[in-house]
Each structure stands twice: as structure tokens, then as C-alpha cells.
Chain A
Amino acid sequence: MSEGHAEIQATDVAQRFGARTIFEHVSFTVAPGEVFVILGGSGCGKSTLMKQLIGLLAPSAGTIVVRGRTITGRDGEAGRQGMLREIGVMFQSGALFGSMTLLENVMLPLEMYTDLPPAGREAVARVKLGLVGLGDAAALMPAEISGGMAKRAGIARAMALDPPLLFLDEPSAGLDPITSAGLDRLILDLRRDLGATFVVVTHELASILAIADRCIMLDRAARGLIAEGDPRRLRDESDNPTVRAFFRREVLAPEAA
């Protein structure tokens, strides 16, 4: 395989819901150890693309290869099952299990996949919660915490098994700038210490510039990719009006919107 070293290789991926095409002809690669950011306006299909990458949604067309396994098409089931153990996912809403405390939420993957005794699971889970700044909220139920705390707990759960590939859907949306910067720091630290690869969906300009090695930008009107590359270069050099509007906070002229 020539692209054998890519963490993710997406080729010509499309998604349609009924007659509505959300995006098509989307191709990109994610290299090992990089922080790869998916950008785009609300409703352009970022969460949808992420669901395809983690095997929850079969794309209408195209192929996706994750860590050497093809997860799309008729023979994708085995690839999907094999991939699951190697990825961690934080959903946009946190998706914590409502009937368990935060600690139990983080302990669940450990319980399923490791032979750790209960005390060991708890110790590991506490460390993960501590890393996202939720050390003293371990005993709370998901209904008792704020939206930002739910996101951080979701990240802690995604990291529970130290997977080499992590997907985060809008980790810093709705967080204050200090907590958000702390999360950026955490992502960079984990990348450095564990060599993990991150695929992050985010709108936060500051966060993009702080963490992203490379990004792709989806657009609703264009129904697909409109830009790919280093976000700093896109900011300074792109001549696509939507990309410029995004990075420079310009208001887009109505005819271009």
C-alpha cells in the first residue's frame, strides 16, 4: 500500500440524505501524530463526516481507510470492528451515560477491555478525569454538571484506553477562553507524550491556530471541500471569499453567501 502510513485516507467521500447532498468528492489524508482540524460553517456536515470516519454512518459513496483497515463498502464490517479498539470519540453533546457517575463513565471502557481490578480501573479513571480538570467532580451524575464539564468528561472517556487516534467534535465550543486554552494545551501534550493523532471539529479560531497542523474546510454552498492546508497559510494567503471571511471574521457579501 503506497499510502500505508496514513492514519486516515478518505477518497471521494459523499453523503446524501434522500435527495439532499450534504457534501461530495471529499478526499483527504491524516498523517500519524498530527492534529487535523475539520472546519466549516454550521450545518455543512462536519459532524456527519466525523460519523463516517468512526464507522457510525456509511457514506453514500467513496472509501475510507482507517489505520490500514477499509471501513466502507460491503467488507467494511470487519474493518469497523477492528478499528473500534483503536479510536476514542467525544461526541458534540458529550453523550455521557446518564445512569452512571462521571467516574463510572470513564471506567466503563476499562472494565470492558482490560483485566484491571476495580481499584486499578478507578485509579486510572481518576487520573483521566484529573487531566481534564474534573478531579473533584468524579462522583457527580451527568445531569448534575454543566455543558462544558460534560464535554471535558467526554474527552476523559474517549482517552480512557489511550487510543492512538482520537476524534473530538467541538471540544471547546461553549467553554470559557481559559478552559478552552487548557484543553488545547492538553491536546498538544497528549500528542507529544503519547504520539496520538487527533481529528478535531471546531469553530474556535484561536484554538484552530493554536493546535492545528493541517485543516480542511467544508462548505455548505459548495457541497464539499473548499480549502485544505496549514490554517496560518490559509488565513494569510487564501483567495476563497468564504475562507477569508472565516479566518478574518469578515462579513461575507450576500451574493457570495
Chain B
Amino acid sequence: MTVAERAAAGGEPAVALEFSGHLDAEGIGLLWERAMRAARRAGRRVLVLDLSEVTLVDTAGAAFLTSLETAHGGKASLEGEREQFRALLDRVRAAGTKLPTPVKLPPLRIRDIAAAGGRAAANGIVFVGEAALALVRLPRNHRVLRWQDLLRYADQAGVRSLPLVVLLGFLIGLILAFQSAVPMRRFGADLYVANLVSISLLRELGPLLAAVILAGRTGSAFAAEIGTMKVNEEIDALVTMGLDPMTMLVLPRLIAAMLVMPVMTLVLNVAGLLGMTVVMMAFGFPLVTVTNQVVGAVTLTDLFEGLVKALCFGAVVAAIGCREGLGTGVGPRAVGLAATGAVVGGIVSTIVLDGVFALLIYRLGL
């Protein structure tokens, strides 16, 4: 491409861009920036696009030429173009003229983020309320709740996660015991590692880790399943058949998660205690000593407190997964977003809820 100053047909001053060869997607790639700059720099002068040496223009080339005219903004003319180029250009112009101006997203402000967070929390509360209502209406709607679904979700969420639960629990017990044994030994208190690990497992880590596993494995799966149904209009179909999605899709998942969470937590606790025992025995404590220490350290209240927490975490994680699924937007990315939202929302609200529990238990003096 060469840029030449010359007079246009009417005698006005003009800037001519003289092209040669093929104006196709390949040919215009290297020209694009330079040509646009030249077109903009032409300013008030007429822009002449000289095509006399050009042998081929395809749709990409035509888009290039119309973009040059737009970039220039003023009067432009074609020179030396063949008949078929002009026809193509006219068609491309007609297709390109109605481009809508892109919608500008407003800048992200802290206030908006906080508002969005607040809305999400409010939606969550409303959702739990609706689920509770569905539960109240269940006797009237009992056909809509399919018990075989409930068993399937309990299997998927609980039984199939047991290997992971055992592995994670064992490793956490092992690591926790090992990490705390080294400093405690300096005070000659390494026997109390058993107290530390068993209390923190039963009261905190057991339910929390089980909830994280549930959010990662099951909450995301709930969101993706329901989200896919939403995208496929299956939810619409349910509604037009008079089948309440809350009862048919959400309740069995919620109940299943609440049933399996205490069991998962119990298994995780046992595996963690086992891991801790392995470390303690490696440090030279006999099994009887460790067992006695654990039995002396924990109370039944500790255990039940953990299990009740697990039940609540299960409900929250499953509810958030289902809500994200039902709230899925349109398009293929929406399902992925729903699944991500389910995991993040599930973990965050579990931890927040855990804080609430800590406060409550402290106040109640348990």
C-alpha cells in the first residue's frame, strides 16, 4: 500500500491509498493499522481508495474498505474498482450500517458490590423460606416428591463421597497431630495433642471439612443439574405441568444432604482420630494411653454439637446449590457460573454460619 497526495476527480485536495494484489483477510492483516492511521490523518481532505492494482476483494476486504471510510469520517471515493467489487461493497455496507453501539458497563463500585452481596443473602433467606413452605405443603403435594430421587441423591452425595471423606479426615488428623506435636513436645505436653486434635475435629473441623466436600462435590452438581434443566426449558415444562420445582427438585436434594452430612462428619471424625493415633504411636505412646486421653477430653456434647452443625451446613450448601441452579441465566456459560456460585456461596456461608454457631454456643455456655 502506498499513500499519495493528489487532487481528487473534482479538483479538491485528496489523500489516495493505493492498494495492490489481494484484499482478503490475509492481505489486509498487515495493512490494517497503517491504513486506518492514514485515513484518520487525511482529515478534511477527500479519501481516495485506489483499487486499480487490486485483483481480488472478498468480504473481509470489503469490511476493511468500509472501516476506512468510517475512520476517515468525511468524503471518500473509490477509484479503479471493478464492477463486482462495488456490488460486494454495497452489500457489506448495508450489512454493517446497523451496528448497535455497545452497551457500556458501569464501573464497579464498592457500594454496588455490597448491595449485590446483600441481595444474594436476602435471596438465600427467601429461598430457604420457600423450601420450608414446600415442606409444609408436602402432605398435599406428596406425589410430586419422588422418594427414589431422594435415595439417589443420598447415594450420590453421601455414599460415593466416603472414600474422599476417609482420606481427607485421616490426612488432616495426621497432619494436625504431627504439626502440633513438635512444639508441644518442647513443653513436655505432647500427650495433650490427643486432646487438641480430638476437640478441634469433633467441634470444628469435622463438620466444616464435610461441608467443604459437600459443596465441592454435591453443591456444584446440584447447581449444574438444575441449571441444565433450566437452560433446556425443563423447569418451564414442570411448571406448565403443575409440578412445583421446589417440591420436585429442591426438597429431595435438601433432605438428602441433611441426612448424609452427619454421617459424613462422623466418618471424617473417626478417620481423623485414626490419623492422630498413628502419629501418637509413632511418637511412642501406647494405644491405650491415647484412647484414654481422647475419651477423657471429649464429651458427648462436643460430638452432638458437631453433628447438629453438620446438619445445618448440609441444608445451607444444598439450598445454595439448588438456588444457583434455578437462577441460571441463558447460554452455555450460565451453567458453569451457577456451579461456581454454588461452591463459593456454599463454602462462604458455611463459614459465616460456623461463626454464628460459635457465638451462640459461647452465649449459651455449652
Chain A residues with CB under 8 Å of chain B are: 51, 54-56, 81, 84-85, 87, 89, 91-93, 95-98, 108-109, 111-113, 157, 254
A54-B240, A81-B242 known; A254-B94 Cβ under 8 A = yes
Report yes or no: A89 in contact with B232, Cβ–Cβ below 8 A: no
Chain B residues with CB under 8 Å of chain A are: 94, 143-144, 228-229, 232-234, 236-237, 239-243
Per the bound structure, the CA–CA distance linking A51 and B235 in Å amounts to: 13
Say how far A102's CB is from chain B's closest CB, in angstroms. 14
Report yes or no: B237 in contact with A98, Cβ–Cβ below 8 A: no
Report yes or no: A55 in contact with B234, Cβ–Cβ below 8 A: no
Closest B residue by C-beta to A160: B241
Interchain CB contact (< 8 A) of B237 among A81, A91, A113: A91
Say how far B13's CB is from chain A's closest CB, in angstroms. 35
Report yes or no: B234 in contact with A56, Cβ–Cβ below 8 A: no
Say how far B21's CB is from chain A's closest CB, in angstroms. 32
Report yes or no: A95 in contact with B236, Cβ–Cβ below 8 A: yes
Report yes or no: B239 in contact with A56, Cβ–Cβ below 8 A: yes
Closest A residue by C-beta to B233: A95
Say how far B146's CB is from chain A's closest CB, in angstroms. 9
Say how far B69's CB is from chain A's closest CB, in angstroms. 20
Contacts of A113 in B (CB 8 A): 242
Contacts of B237 in A (CB 8 A): 89, 91, 95-97, 157
Say how far B90's CB is from chain A's closest CB, in angstroms. 11
Contacts of A93 in B (CB 8 A): 232-233
Per the bound structure, the CA–CA distance linking A101 and B233 in Å amounts to: 17
A95-B234, A111-B143 known; A84-B241 Cβ under 8 A = yes
Closest B residue by C-beta to A54: B240
Say how far A80's CB is from chain B's closest CB, in angstroms. 9
Report yes or no: A84 in contact with B240, Cβ–Cβ below 8 A: yes
Contacts of B144 in A (CB 8 A): 112
Per the bound structure, the CA–CA distance linking A55 and B241 in Å amounts to: 11
**Interface core residue of A51, A55, A85, A112 (most chain B CB under 10 Å):** A112
Per the bound structure, the CA–CA distance linking A122 and B236 in Å amounts to: 24
Report yes or no: A98 in contact with B232, Cβ–Cβ below 8 A: yes
Report yes or no: A96 in contact with B234, Cβ–Cβ below 8 A: yes
Say how far A17's CB is from chain B's closest CB, in angstroms. 12
Per the bound structure, the CA–CA distance linking A178 and B142 in Å amounts to: 43
Contacts of A109 in B (CB 8 A): 241
| 10 residue pairs, one from A and one from B, having the closest CB atoms | A84-B242, A95-B233, A95-B237, A89-B240, A91-B233, A95-B234, A54-B240, A109-B241, A112-B143, A56-B236
Contacts of A111 in B (CB 8 A): 143
Contacts of B143 in A (CB 8 A): 111-112
Closest B residue by C-beta to A90: B237
**Interface core residue of A87, A97, A254 (most chain B CB under 10 Å):** A97
Closest A residue by C-beta to B234: A95
Interchain CB contact (< 8 A) of B236 among A81, A84, A91, A112: A91
Per the bound structure, the CA–CA distance linking A157 and B240 in Å amounts to: 12
Closest A residue by C-beta to B236: A56
Per the bound structure, the CA–CA distance linking A228 and B176 in Å amounts to: 76
Contacts of B236 in A (CB 8 A): 51, 56, 91, 95
Report yes or no: B242 in contact with A112, Cβ–Cβ below 8 A: yes
Contacts of A96 in B (CB 8 A): 234, 237
Report yes or no: A85 in contact with B234, Cβ–Cβ below 8 A: no
Interchain CB contact (< 8 A) of A55 among B94, B229, B240: B240
Contacts of A56 in B (CB 8 A): 236, 239-240
Say how far B48's CB is from chain A's closest CB, in angstroms. 28
Contacts of A92 in B (CB 8 A): 233
- Interface pairs (8), CB distance under 8 Å: A54-B240, A93-B233, A95-B232, A97-B229, A97-B237, A98-B228, A98-B232, A112-B242
Closest A residue by C-beta to B94: A254
Per the bound structure, the CA–CA distance linking A109 and B241 in Å amounts to: 7
Interchain CB contact (< 8 A) of B229 among A81, A98, A157: A98
Report yes or no: B241 in contact with A112, Cβ–Cβ below 8 A: yes
Contacts of A97 in B (CB 8 A): 229, 234, 237
Contacts of A89 in B (CB 8 A): 237, 240
Report yes or no: B241 in contact with A108, Cβ–Cβ below 8 A: yes
Closest A residue by C-beta to B152: A99
Say how far A85's CB is from chain B's closest CB, in angstroms. 6
Per the bound structure, the CA–CA distance linking A91 and B240 in Å amounts to: 10
Closest A residue by C-beta to B225: A99
Contacts of A54 in B (CB 8 A): 240
Per the bound structure, the CA–CA distance linking A96 and B232 in Å amounts to: 8
Per the bound structure, the CA–CA distance linking A111 and B147 in Å amounts to: 13
Contacts of B241 in A (CB 8 A): 84, 108-109, 112
Say how far B330's CB is from chain A's closest CB, in angstroms. 12
Per the bound structure, the CA–CA distance linking A99 and B277 in Å amounts to: 44
Closest B residue by C-beta to A254: B94
Say how far B365's CB is from chain A's closest CB, in angstroms. 47
Report yes or no: B242 in contact with A98, Cβ–Cβ below 8 A: no
Per the bound structure, the CA–CA distance linking A96 and B237 in Å amounts to: 8
